[in-house]
């Protein structure tokens, strides 16, 4: 293996390993402006798979896609006090355009509650207009002080949903639906990443929300990553932007609104949750290439079989790539495909074919098997389903091993260095959060003892999950 393909070991330096994977698997590069990134085609293909899977789930809840402007008048941002205070340090503001100073500065979209709220107020008149369920796929800008590709960048891609409801109960139910039926289901069934689902504390809540709920995943180094959030905004934005409606009795009421989103941060989570010292390990459901067929050396019979096999499994719905670059050493090509995390590799050589077999390798475990060439298609189809399931099981086992129960706040700091500490919320509280913050730890979320999501921080017997986080 050439030096350019060697990755830093995760155990030696996890951040360096992460950066190595980004570079050597050709996922991203730094943009020309600090904190921005260029998403290379392979990573963007992963994002497209994520988009497609999330989008179909969002639409199943009744939401429709729309698009709103990138530039937002500062007067909109300033209307909701808690919102502007939360985002002020991250705002990028345009003051000049067309060679002139603008009469009003424009914020480059950090999130769209304010501008969408303005238009909701125009579109909603009656209870018959509710619920109004909107989503947009867009880019946003938040001026990050400590950028890291995919995890925290000045500009990133995401979807942001914004909905208005007639009642608080309807808004709460919809926010929970997004959290569970869209985000958790996608992360676990498509990304094969188990998540801890719970309620954010007041300290960690989205600016302007009355409740924030989260999907938290554990990465290979034991740190937590917030993978997606769903927020109840109450009537805070409705009152400010006059998102109101006339109810059945003819009385004016203010709507209850939600917002929710996931971003390209999920690509970073995918890398760090599943990756190993050989590079990416992609679940088949999200892999741009699910099966790569590697021709061992130049041979017309082997090339003919490989081409025909690729066509057959492509017709069966498999995303397949035929690697017939025999001028490049076989070992080098194998390393490249392992770096890219292709779930299944089929190695086709003339000697094996003469014996009626091909070699099939699964990327998650790196297990090899010599399989009859006649049964190779059935084996590959079964293996794709098996890898998808097994990766989730392995990640679930890893999560369980990382969660450590501790008796109180004094024991949290030590346990949370490389694990997720689980402790009674009453042992932490808001004062304890300040102590944890001084040690670069935070309460990732709160759960009830049965694992369900509480409706209040003040419910009895709540469990706090504490960790270092990205």
Q: 5 pLDDT band (50/70/90 cuts)?
A: low
Looking at the structure, do residues 85 and 222 belong to the same domain, yes or no? Answer: yes
How does 287-297 read in b/e, with b if 16+ C-beta sit within 10 Å? bbbbbbbbbbe
Note whether residue 282 is domain-resident: no
Note whether residue 410 is domain-resident: yes
Q: What is the domain range of residue 420?
A: 405-467
Domain-ending residue, one of 323, 358, 386: 386
Looking at the structure, do residues 226 and 99 belong to the same domain, yes or no? Answer: yes
Note whether residue 234 is domain-resident: yes
Looking at the structure, do residues 425 and 352 belong to the same domain, yes or no? Answer: no
pLDDT (tens digit per residue) in 171-184 = 999 999 999 999 99
Looking at the structure, do residues 120 and 218 belong to the same domain, yes or no? Answer: yes
Domain-ending residue, one of 352, 386, 420: 386
Mean of pLDDT over the chain: 96
Note whether residue 313 is domain-resident: yes
Looking at the structure, do residues 181 and 125 belong to the same domain, yes or no? Answer: yes
**Domains held by the chain: number:** 3
The domain that contains 441 carries what CATH number? 3.30.110
pLDDT (tens digit per residue) in 186-244 = 999 999 999 999 999 999 999 999 999 999 999 999 999 999 999 999 999 999 999 99
Looking at the structure, do residues 143 and 19 belong to the same domain, yes or no? Answer: yes
Domain-ending residue, one of 334, 355, 386: 386
Are 62 and 181 in contact by the 8 Å Cβ rule? The answer is no
Q: 2 pLDDT band (50/70/90 cuts)?
A: very low
**Residue whose token pair is 């991203």:** 28
Q: Is the peptide bond before 176 cis (omega within 30 degrees of 0)?
A: no
pLDDT (tens digit per residue) in 254-312 = 999 999 999 999 999 999 999 999 999 999 999 999 999 999 999 999 999 999 999 99
Q: Is residue 65 predicted with pLDDT exceeding 90?
A: yes
* 218 bridge partner residues: 224
Are 273 and 302 in contact by the 8 Å Cβ rule? The answer is no
Note whether residue 400 is domain-resident: no
Residue of 263, 249, 194 whose CA lies nearest to 224: 194
Structure tokens at 360: 């099939």
List the beta strands (DSSP E) in 248-375. Answer: 252-254, 256-263, 291-295, 320-323, 344-348, 357-362, 368-372
Phi, psi values for residue 465, rounded to 5°: -105, 120
Q: Is residue 1 predicted with pLDDT exceeding 50?
A: no
pLDDT for the residue numbered 159: 98
pLDDT (tens digit per residue) in 412-450 = 989 998 899 999 999 999 999 999 999 999 999 999 999
Note whether residue 391 is domain-resident: no
Looking at the structure, do residues 103 and 251 belong to the same domain, yes or no? Answer: yes
Looking at the structure, do residues 449 and 326 belong to the same domain, yes or no? Answer: no
What is the rounded average pLDDT of the residues 118-125?
98
pLDDT for the residue numbered 381: 98
pLDDT (tens digit per residue) in 329-377 = 999 999 999 999 999 999 999 999 999 999 999 999 999 999 999 999 9
Looking at the structure, do residues 326 and 192 belong to the same domain, yes or no? Answer: no
Note whether residue 214 is domain-resident: yes
Q: Is 94 helix (H, G, I), strand (E, B) or coil?
A: strand
- Neighbouring residues of 341: CB distance < 8 A, sequence distance ≥ 6: 25, 274, 275, 279, 280, 281, 282, 287, 363
Exposed/middle/buried for 350, CB within 10 Å: 0-12, 13-18, 19+? Answer: middle
The domain that contains 316 carries what CATH number? 3.40.50.800
The domain that contains 241 carries what CATH number? 3.30.930.10
Q: Identify the DSSP state of 249.
A: T
Looking at the structure, do residues 141 and 235 belong to the same domain, yes or no? Answer: yes
Kindly report the pTM of this predicted structure. Answer: 0.95
Q: How many residues does the chain have?
A: 470
Looking at the structure, do residues 213 and 358 belong to the same domain, yes or no? Answer: no
Looking at the structure, do residues 268 and 412 belong to the same domain, yes or no? Answer: no
Note whether residue 396 is domain-resident: no
């Amino acid at each position: 293996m050439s030096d350019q393909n060697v990755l830093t070991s995760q155990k030696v330096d996890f951040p360096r390993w992460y950066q190595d994977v980004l570079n050597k698997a050709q996922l991203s590069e730094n943009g020309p402006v600090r904190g921005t990134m260029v998403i290379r085609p392979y990573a963007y293909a992963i994002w497209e798979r994520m988009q497609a899977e999330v989008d179909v789930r969002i639409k199943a809840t009744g939401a429709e896609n729309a698009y709103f402007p990138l530039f937002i008048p500062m007067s909109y941002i300033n209307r909701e006090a808690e919102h502007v205070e939360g985002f002020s340090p991250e705002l990028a503001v345009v003051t000049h355009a067309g060679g002139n100073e603008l009469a009003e500065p424009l914020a480059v979209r950090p999130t769209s509650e304010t501008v969408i709220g303005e238009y909701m107020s125009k579109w909603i008149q009656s209870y018959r207009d509710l619920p109004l369920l909107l989503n947009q796929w867009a880019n946003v800008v938040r001026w990050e002080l400590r950028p890291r590709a995919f995890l925290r960048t000045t500009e990133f891609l995401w979807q942001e949903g914004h909905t208005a409801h007639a009642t608080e109960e309807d808004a709460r139910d919809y926010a929970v639906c997004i959290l569970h039926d869209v985000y958790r289901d996608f992360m676990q069934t498509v990304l094969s990443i188990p998540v801890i689902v719970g309620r954010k504390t007041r300290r960690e809540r989205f600016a302007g929300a009355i409740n924030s709920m989260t999907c938290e995943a554990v990465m290979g180094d034991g740190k937590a990553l917030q993978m997606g959030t769903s927020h109840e905004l109450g009537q805070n934005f409705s009152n400010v932007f006059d998102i109101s409606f006339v109810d059945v009795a003819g009385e004016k009421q203010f709507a209850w609104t939600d917002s929710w989103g996931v971003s390209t941060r999920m690509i970073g989570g995918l890398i760090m949750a599943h990756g190993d010292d050989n590079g990416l390990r992609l679940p088949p459901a999200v892999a741009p290439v699910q099966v790569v067929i590697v021709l061992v050396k130049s041979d017309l019979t082997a090339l003919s079989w490989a081409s025909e096999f690729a066509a057959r499994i492509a017709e069966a719905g498999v995303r397949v790539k035929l690697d017939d670059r025999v001028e490049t050493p076989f070992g080098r090509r194998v390393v490249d495909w392992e770096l890219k995390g292709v779930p299944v590799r089929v190695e086709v050589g003339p000697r094996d074919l003469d014996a009626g077999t091909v070699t099939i390798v699964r990327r998650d475990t790196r297990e090899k098997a010599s399989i009859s060439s006649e049964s190779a298609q059935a084996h590959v189809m079964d293996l794709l389903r098996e890898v998808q399931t097994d990766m989730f099981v392995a990640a679930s086992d890893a999560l369980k091993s990382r969660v450590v129960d501790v008796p109180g706040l004094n024991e949290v700091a030590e346990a949370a260095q490389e694990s997720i500490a689980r402790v009674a919320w009453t042992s932490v509280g808001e004062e304890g959060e300040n102590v944890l913050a001084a040690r670069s730890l935070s309460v990732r979320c709160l759960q009830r003892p049965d694992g369900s999501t509480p409706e209040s921080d003040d419910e009895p017997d709540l469990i706090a999950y504490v960790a270092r986080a990205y």
